[in-house]
């Protein structure tokens, strides 16, 4: 996400989940990691800076907000800070490879969303939050394969962790599943395969059983939190589909994973 200002109007540019801000006269902010935003530029005062950053950190987590803000030298529209914090709603997190621009009272949003209902809802939320002096240009598009992309971006190559040799989730594993739960609910009620994988250490049949037990634990965790049981299928692949070499500890750690796959 990025905030910049021209003359007396305030411009807010959010670079969301892997977007680049290099076109036209927008300065390069670099590639943004999945789930992160970069905010840079100028805000009217320290209270505005604190309010905008606070809202973003509430939405994305403090570690996921890259702050490049400066303060002073701009005159914003009336109630600018209040309007900006209202604008930054939860559905904004579902926009991938996108940007949100505010120049004075002109708002423009672009990027990918997983479905048409969400495309309309994001802009509807913004229009409800703002007063009628603001106009909104909706350039969001429904991405091909958007549902699977949303799941993949949310997992972001992280590993759902379990206690060693067991199907008991760690606290870190539960935290990742809580993020996956939000993504699954944003897609709707998709049919989903939860696939467990292990490394190649030990007996293959035992590993297949462990991978299935771990997938079952994940399935039960999601069901307990509101995902319909009939939409989830647990599978165990054991060591048969590695994504890294099993010769190193790092490779084995990557292979001990949970995969989420949409079923057409």
Note the pLDDT tens digit of each residue in 121-177: 888 888 888 888 888 888 888 776 668 888 888 898 899 999 989 999 999 999 999
Structure tokens at 209: 């059983």
- Nearest CA to 256 out of 163, 147, 186, 136 is that of 163
pTM of the model: 0.52
User: Is residue 262 over pLDDT 50?
Assistant: yes
What domains sit in the chain, N to C, each tagged with a CATH number?
A: 2-143 (3.40.1520.20), 148-262 (3.30.1330.60)
User: Is residue 120 over pLDDT 90?
Assistant: no
Structure tokens at 208: 């297949």
Mean pLDDT of 39-67: 87
Longest CA–CA separation in the chain, Å: 68
Structure tokens at 137: 């240009």
Burial of 179 (0-12, 13-18, 19+ CB in 10 A): middle
Whether 103 and 8 have beta carbons less than 8 Å apart is answered as: no
Calpha distance 197→125 (Å, rounded): 40
- The alpha carbon dihedral of 37, 187, 237, 196 has a sign of positive
Note the pLDDT tens digit of each residue in 199-216: 999 999 999 999 999 999
From 4-13, 221-230, 249-258, the region with the lowest mean pLDDT? 4-13
């Amino acid at each position: 996400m990025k905030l910049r200002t021209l003359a007396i109007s305030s411009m807010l540019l959010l670079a969301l989940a892997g977007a680049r801000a290099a076109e036209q006269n927008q300065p390069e902010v670099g590639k943004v990691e999945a789930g992160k935003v970069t905010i840079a530029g100028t805000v009217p005062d320290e209270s505005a800076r604190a309010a905008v950053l606070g809202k973003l950190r509430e939405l994305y987590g403090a570690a996921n907000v890259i702050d490049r803000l400066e303060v002073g030298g701009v005159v914003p529209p009336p109630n600018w800070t209040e309007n900006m914090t209202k604008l930054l709603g939860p559905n904004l997190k579902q926009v991938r490879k996108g940007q949100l621009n505010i120049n004075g009272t002109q708002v423009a949003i672009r990027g990918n969303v997983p479905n048409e209902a969400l495309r309309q809802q994001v802009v509807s939320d913004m229009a409800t939050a703002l007063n009628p002096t603001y106009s909104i240009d909706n350039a969001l598009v429904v991405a091909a394969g958007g549902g699977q992309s949303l799941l993949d971006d949310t997992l972001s190559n992280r590993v759902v962790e379990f206690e060693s040799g067991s199907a008991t989730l760690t606290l870190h594993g539960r935290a990742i599943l809580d993020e996956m739960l939000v993504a699954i609910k944003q897609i709707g009620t998709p049919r989903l395969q939860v696939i467990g994988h292990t490394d190649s250490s030990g007996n293959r049949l035992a590993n297949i059983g462990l991978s299935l037990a771990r997938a079952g634990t994940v399935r039960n965790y999601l069901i307990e939190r509101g995902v319909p049981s009939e939409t989830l299928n647990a599978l165990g692949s054991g060591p048969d589909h590695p994504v890294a070499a099993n010769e190193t500890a790092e490779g084995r750690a990557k292979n001990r994973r949970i995969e989420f796959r949409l079923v057409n």
